[in-house]
Amino acid sequence: MKRNTIGCLATAVLFTVAQAALANPGEKPVKVYVDGLPTHIAQEVQKHAAEGETSLKRYLDRTHSLHRLRFEDVTQPRVQPVSNTGGLTREPKKHANDYK
């Protein structure tokens, strides 16, 4: 009797896993804009975007605390390019007394 119960449970688990894996097989790839992102993050975003919108949203939700990326950040083109200078046009003052 135990063997039969274990077999039924194993079958149910396998069925559930297979159903979850095939949940959205027909999703279309999402176009993403990864300019300015580090290479390893850009590769992961592109990989999940190729799998579909659901996969990309889940990845971004899971890694939001690390990378601070939202779905809109990678699916919409940037209005202004990222600059390496940080927006500074001149060297900042070195002491508070320099400001008058």
Between residues 35 and 8, the one the model is more confident about: 35
Kindly state whether residue 17 falls inside one of the protein's structural domains.
no
82 pLDDT band (50/70/90 cuts)?
low
Between residues 96 and 57, the one the model is more confident about: 57
Kindly state whether residue 95 falls inside one of the protein's structural domains.
no
Q: What is the pTM of this model?
A: 0.55
How far CA 58 is from CA of 26, 49, 70, 96, in Å, comes to 17, 11, 11, 46
Kindly state whether residue 96 falls inside one of the protein's structural domains.
no
Question: In which domain, by residue range, is 56 found?
Answer: 27-79
Per residue in 53-68, pLDDT (tens digit) is 999 999 999 999 999 9
Kindly state whether residue 92 falls inside one of the protein's structural domains.
no
Per residue in 11-51, pLDDT (tens digit) is 877 766 666 555 556 789 999 999 889 999 999 999 999 99
Looking only at Cα atoms, what is the longest distance across the chain? Answer: 87
- Number of structural domains in the chain: 1
Kindly state whether residue 97 falls inside one of the protein's structural domains.
no
Per-residue model confidence (pLDDT) at position 5: 82
d(CA 45, CA 59): 8
d(CA 54, CA 66): 19
Kindly state whether residue 45 falls inside one of the protein's structural domains.
yes
Kindly state whether residue 43 falls inside one of the protein's structural domains.
yes
d(CA 56, CA 75): 10
